[in-house]
Structure 1
């Protein structure tokens, strides 16, 4: 199977150099979002302790947001004429999200670790938003929306640590 990183679209949305820069920024965040969704599912399956059910269900809500965000980012990359890369090997090699432990994890530690991971992804998104400001307002706006949703989830996680 042959793979390419760029299409031969006749009507480019951005200029070549800008496309390369924007899609590289988006790819970084795609990798982090995919890894965050996987981390959250690991946490969802293995959380134990008091209030298990509420955090178990809350994690699924966050996962939905993260997966929708990763899909938007991937589709934006492809819209710009570049192949999105969500392969396991790429996520493993390039994600900046801290690894989640194996085994069962108590509710309080789960909340803390998940909140830390969400914050890492928010930080990456916010950095990307700053870099995209002069390059592509559409991609910038998309990441602002994704970050806003994740920030709300972070608030709700942190409220449980108090």
Structure 2
């Protein structure tokens, strides 16, 4: 079947579009799980503020992962969010085990958000060339993730 061919089931994504959306999805699921790990194990001065910010990040990332997965289904692609797939294919660095102090948590979470953003930016033009509707979803995702990275990283910055 040709790229993005329309058939009786609607539009079917090319293998390249499928792979790009799957890569974004995997990173979002991983960011969601790592965000919860950080949320549960952050400790130190400023705990409560960061604890609440992490819940906001996790909620946003979870929503975006659902949107991407549902877009994949609309394109006749089967998303794979299984734990073993996430562990084997995520672009994100592993999150530290155990308790992590507030400043280190801020840096670790911000780094992982930026890793996810880098992947979205990397695949964006290819996605846009094949499916502008999916690219629109990536635009919204970028805007939101970059906002969260700015807000969380600002906790460790001085004027």
The question of a shared fold, defined as TM-score above 0.5 by the shorter chain, is answered with yes
Q: 1:30·1:70 contact (CA, 8 Å) conserved in 2?
A: yes
1:98 maps to 93
SS at match of 1:83: coil
- Extract unaligned runs of 5+ from structure 2: 1-6
2:8 maps to 10
2:151 to 135, 141, 156: 156
Q: 1:19·1:80 contact (CA, 8 Å) conserved in 2?
A: no
Q: Please, what TM-score do these two structures have when normalized by structure 2?
A: 0.92
Deviation at 1:68, TM superposition (A): 0.4
Are 2:26 and 1:37 equivalent residues in the alignment? no
Deviations 1:53-106 (A, max 9, x none): 000000000001100010011111111111110000000000010000110000
- Extract unaligned runs of 5+ from structure 1: 1-8
1:69 to 53, 64, 70: 64
Deviation at 1:157, TM superposition (A): 1.3
SS at match of 1:134: helix
Aligned residues: 151
Deviation at 1:128, TM superposition (A): 1.6
Worse-superposed segment, 125-134 or 35-44:
125-134
Q: CA RMSD in A?
A: 1.1
Separation of aligned partners in 1, 2:74 and 2:104: 39
Deviation at 1:116, TM superposition (A): 0.1
SS at match of 2:65: helix
Q: Please, what TM-score do these two structures have when normalized by structure 1?
A: 0.90
Separation of aligned partners in 2, 1:111 and 1:157: 6
